[in-house]
Structure 1
């Protein structure tokens, strides 16, 4: 019945839905990649955005906002959020698989590490004003996108769901009453085939218009699995979207939309990078353990892109939904209602020991989600006042069936054989559980997890035009959140018994708990902006914001008796104080734009995903760090110095740290040893490990201190194959400095900085066709997207090598 309801909704939605884009005239690719501005190359145009829920020029918006339009997305191959980060230096995206993904702005938004369903994401993702609660949606291809706005800083007084770090606001192309169509085909190395198409036109004269769009992407994996003989970490995406616009009256527009997205790649592998010394005895560190099984990874150079994972990999997900948006011109403003339902089905299979050894033979947490949202918003003008008031309701249900099974090598890897002579393998005399494969072989945890999340809010923002040049803008939000969950883990031995010894409970502990959280909070902000001249806008903002508290739904840490610590079942809300100043400028007859911003954000009770220090535990849990801070500055520049030449550059400096986190988990070089009063030096085999670590003053994970994007395009009018058009050459580059890839910074998991360059060259005919060749990662730079540690403090470090050099050709046709 559930499948039938979904199919009916999707079939209906495919001939309905979506929101008409309010901005017209996309900018050139190089210009739209920065914060500013020339549309169509006239030198006097503007980019129009709806960031503040009304149409206005981007240079008039007193907040840090970047816009990437359709031509920039297509020209640079930025077909999902991960690719978009190369154009947006303040945006970070990290993913070990679609579920375990995080989109952050200025390094804030979601904790770095394995996803926990029990908390909110601090970066809101909106598609045609519909809130997407699952970050997994960001791993799909953009479908028929008109533009993407990236708003930096808290946005809770303007947007339905509270967004403490920023928002990614995606607007798709609207149904058109003039018949039109677009088609695009890309072919590249690694077997890349990508096809996109959309058509639009009237159904009933000037009353009803329809738009249909689809996208398909296939690419061979970048890593070869010598065990299966397959290339893994491939792309296999399919997306469909339908919209119907009904002009019910002269003042009322109804937009119906439906979408379906399916992703089914053989993915996602993290592979051997290196080993580092921990506090475990030498015979319990990775080199000795591997030698005991006569095991060696297929390569110790990750950029050979080889693995031998012995568990099937699967990252299948289906995301879709339907919505209705009504826009009614009423009085001096407009009333907008957005009603939406979305679902997400996740069917994974992972190899969580990252090796070809049978340590963990099954690790899968298939999940199903339904969400319902309703937003009602009125935006209007009265005299010198512009205002937006709104209400938002959200309800989400998630059910997860988790399964983890240990294999025949688990005892040796995860259990302590006790005191053994120096240089011994530890199992010459197999008298301990660690030397008996049967102790953990077949140990199975079956998890039954439920989660309900309800949120409601009223919000508003007022702009008072005190004079023709001075504006004051207060905003407020009142929010209520309620979360409840159930986590039941049933553990059985390989023989099927529920009676476990202490070692078995230390690896997979039976747990049953029902965490709850509910709270009210008040957010507010105030912005003052001033037109210094016609083309110079200065602004200053203070925002007090909250991210809702959460509950732990990935299992709890254990006490000394291997029993769950129930007090860790929930985490407190984040409390955000945000300060920002900015300057938006245009010069050279508006052919050049330079926007500057400085920010300082402090968060108390920061929600961190931390790694459980106990042996054998594969997942992290949530904890509150006392205080973190990010501060820095950003600059965005774009220019058209002469006809045909467009340039852009964007950069950010981000100084970030845990201001106070005194009881954090320790990094791997301080973990795995015995307990004692005086900890040993880092990486001392058989040493003493502290119970926890003070990481105050250390880096936050996932944030580069320096990041930049830059590039340009030169187009020359010419004639080719009987058509008048322009030949063009484009270059895009990006840079990110070193960042930490572990919640507690480790000497083993810093990701080195890297610079990338992309080029493209082609010929295009205005409103006709565009053919270009492209090379991405021109210099075939080897770099990691992230690094991670193996469970149990063995010292194994694994990582995800990013894409090597890719190349291909794209043909676009507009009709």
Structure 2
């Protein structure tokens, strides 16, 4: 650790993590100026602070930066923020965010998302189109003391523009290659001096950036549209109310997953035969009420979110008809928080509150095994197992047995209801001016209770039917016996888990002067546990094997050992085959449903030191944070049978830094550089077949780098032109626990030219201008033709894109 910390401290003068933004102001002629010294206050129900003085690693993007950098969704801030990685792959369903080597592929998120202080409890809702965003804050490291579950890696907090603070109307038209076009119309008006309303309507469409060579159709096309309303009311000098609502409907065709030859490092074509699509309706609403007392500020925040989606997936991603997956979700989520905090600037600053939520998700996830899947995964595998048994010397007298399946397909329906609720109490206190001016200490604690349940019903809509041919020698004459079978398949039951978590925080801060400070902190975070839906397909496959063998034993005079015609399992009872006829091996096997589908909560301790400084007053700001994370029971997405499931690894460790620099050599020129380094490895992880100790954690880029420059050139009193050039780099990214597939460091060049006037703006923009080829995502899945060697697939990153935005202002 010493070898890392000492040289890293020397970077403070050259790199730093962005804290204060560079708000755009104008001079006496109206020309655009970049002002690094502008004071930005960040305020929410939990805390209030001058952004520059915030004791932690934080990145901030304001309205002007969001518009200038073409940030349309949360995925677009990946790499702009040091050590933040949100791969742009698949669909709006999948928003896997990673910070400092901690993240989540499926199930519970590790990075929290709040919009107008409303928590987004499910990451299926993370990817939505931005409209009228005031600013985005990204806090790195565990935020569990104030925000609780699923913020163990960090938090993205988004705030929309208040119609009380900014009025006006605009219409933005966007056009680009790949048939991109969109319209975004917003208006914000005061009804009275204390009551204002903001309205937005939007639509965006593209034809996708890739083509399925098997169907000759575009892969990854997207259409999305929606609207939002916000009503802000200053009811009195003490009361403020805000009502928000946002609806979005999206429809995507895809997914652009291409076969990848891992040995040759070659990407093949996108070529699969079955439907792949994702449709989603998302409604989010919230009501916030704030009361300002002379001694405290009280806030109540109520949130409701409704999500209804439908995904179709060619699960094998090849031209063969192996099996398909459909997932339909309907989610209702309600949250309520009460928070009370002191005013800023007191010697004692404190905050406390209560939080509760209820989330109910109803999921239907049928898997359809088609003809190729039945032939390869059931018929062929069963016959291979029978042939292997016959080679056993102990079974020299075993007859020749082969099976044939009559079903043209096997449709296994899965219906899962997962209600989850929780409650929390939290508090945090800061004592300023301890012994000397400038020294402060913060202590916080949160207690979370959570109960998760799953009601599951997995069943085949028709029995698995066929014949077993048993060849025997009766009195020297060969004889073939046909034994028909019909196997009902199903697993039913319910499981539940309860957790009680403590999330403490300890922090020291010392202000060297009014231009610099340093801090040190230790914080605990956790991510909630849950259940794997995809494991039920594997359990049904296990049930097929045991019941098939039971039928074969029955045909050889072994009776019915239990399972040939039995119904489904209930509760957590094991799936089991009991005995075997004489001369046959025992097929004793047992799988406990709860242990097979459950995964435990994940915990971490984050140790951090850092500082922030104005190195040159008015011209240069710098920030550096160094961290070490000890993570236990990290939730790892792994290939298992017919899909990916979540497992708990033993232990991982991450260390690294975030650093950035912002400078204004002249009033019209803004330069910035941000860098993140993460070294995340397994300290203890053995999946039962492989030991991954010492390997790098997947989906954790070792380096993230963002360089940008913006120059504003005045044309006249009301018009200027801004040129921006940006370089975004990240890597090396390992895709697997075995570290046998990776994307090396790569960089993308983006640029824009903005002509801004009083009534209209014209922007020309381009992304990945050098048309850099890279892997945005890699995964492995079952190879039905050779179960010993999984298939590999990649999604390539977007090619060069360019377009024009026209904004009319009223």
The answer to whether TM tops 0.5 is yes
Task: Give the secondary structure class of the aligned counterpart of 1:392.
Answer: strand
Aligned ranges 1:530-541 → 2 under 5 Å: 530-541=510-521
Task: Give the secondary structure class of the aligned counterpart of 1:158.
Answer: helix
**Contact between 2:661 and 2:674, CA under 8 Å: does it hold in 1?**
yes
Select the residue among 615, 619, 639 that pairs with 1:587.
Answer: 615
Q: Give a deviation string over 1:49-81, Cα, whole Å, max 9, x none.
A: 236834422111001000111222222222112
Select the residue among 352, 376, 384 that pairs with 1:418.
Answer: 384
Select the residue among 534, 549, 554 that pairs with 1:554.
Answer: 534
1:717/1:32 CA distance change after superposition, 3 Å = farther
Aligned ranges 1:615-626 → 2 under 5 Å: 617-626=641-650
CA positional deviation for 1:492: 4.7
Q: Distance in 1 between matches of 2:386 and 2:356?
A: 60
2:240 counterpart of 1:240: no
Task: Give the secondary structure class of the aligned counterpart of 1:176.
Answer: coil
Map of 2:132 onto structure 1: 144
2:707 counterpart of 1:697: no
Q: Distance in 1 between matches of 2:535 and 2:682?
A: 25
Task: Give the secondary structure class of the aligned counterpart of 1:568.
Answer: helix
Q: Distance in 1 between matches of 2:415 and 2:805?
A: 46
1:524/1:787 CA distance change after superposition, 3 Å = same
Q: Distance in 2 between matches of 1:740 and 1:432?
A: 45
2:454 counterpart of 1:461: no
Map of 2:114 onto structure 1: 126
Map of 1:487 onto structure 2: 456
2:150 counterpart of 1:155: no
Task: Give the secondary structure class of the aligned counterpart of 1:803.
Answer: coil
CA positional deviation for 1:746: 4.4
Q: Distance in 2 between matches of 1:444 and 1:251?
A: 60
Structure 1, unmatched stretches of 5+, are 1-30, 278-298, 422-430, 665-690
Select the residue among 757, 764, 775 that pairs with 2:766.
Answer: 775
Q: Give a deviation string over 1:743-800, Cα, whole Å, max 9, x none.
A: x2242x32233110101123213x5432121111011011111111231344431111
Q: Distance in 1 between matches of 2:101 and 2:199?
A: 36
Map of 1:322 onto structure 2: 285
Bigger Cα displacement from structure 2, 777-786 vs 723-732: 723-732
Aligned ranges 1:234-273 → 2 under 5 Å: 234-273=221-260
2:101 counterpart of 1:107: yes
2:325 counterpart of 1:337: no
**Contact between 2:98 and 2:700, CA under 8 Å: does it hold in 1?**
no
Map of 1:544 onto structure 2: 524
Q: Distance in 2 between matches of 1:162 and 1:796?
A: 31
Map of 1:13 onto structure 2: none
CA positional deviation for 1:478: 0.7
1:795/1:480 CA distance change after superposition, 3 Å = closer
Asked which structure has the greater CA Rg, the reply is 2
Select the residue among 144, 155, 180 that pairs with 1:192.
Answer: 180
1:217/1:123 CA distance change after superposition, 3 Å = same
Select the residue among 64, 73, 77 that pairs with 2:70.
Answer: 77
2:730 counterpart of 1:736: yes
Map of 1:60 onto structure 2: 53
1:783/1:604 CA distance change after superposition, 3 Å = same
1:631/1:538 CA distance change after superposition, 3 Å = same
CA positional deviation for 1:413: 4.1
1:177/1:45 CA distance change after superposition, 3 Å = closer
Normalized per residue, the structure richer in strand is 2
Aligned ranges 1:620-659 → 2 under 5 Å: 620-659=644-683
Bigger Cα displacement from structure 2, 484-493 vs 239-248: 484-493
Pairs aligned (count): 700
1:654/1:300 CA distance change after superposition, 3 Å = closer
Structure 2, unmatched stretches of 5+, are 1-14, 25-33, 388-399, 471-484, 547-574, 576-590
**Contact between 2:86 and 2:98, CA under 8 Å: does it hold in 1?**
yes
Q: Distance in 2 between matches of 1:227 and 1:782?
A: 22
2:650 counterpart of 1:601: no
Q: Distance in 2 between matches of 1:154 and 1:782?
A: 34
**Contact between 1:32 and 1:69, CA under 8 Å: does it hold in 2?**
no
1:498/1:311 CA distance change after superposition, 3 Å = farther
TM-score by length of 2: 0.82
Q: Distance in 1 between matches of 2:174 and 2:652?
A: 44
TM-score by length of 1: 0.81
Map of 2:745 onto structure 1: 753
**Contact between 2:212 and 2:256, CA under 8 Å: does it hold in 1?**
no
1:763/1:659 CA distance change after superposition, 3 Å = same
1:509/1:746 CA distance change after superposition, 3 Å = farther
Map of 2:275 onto structure 1: 312
Task: Give the secondary structure class of the aligned counterpart of 2:252.
Answer: coil
Q: Give a deviation string over 1:228-272, Cα, whole Å, max 9, x none.
A: 442120121112110111222221011111110111121223122
Task: Give the secondary structure class of the aligned counterpart of 1:73.
Answer: helix
**Contact between 1:275 and 1:796, CA under 8 Å: does it hold in 2?**
no
Q: Give a deviation string over 1:69-116, Cα, whole Å, max 9, x none.
A: 122222222211222114123111134333333112222132x3xx23
Q: Distance in 1 between matches of 2:328 and 2:319?
A: 23
2:756 counterpart of 1:764: yes
2:213 counterpart of 1:220: no
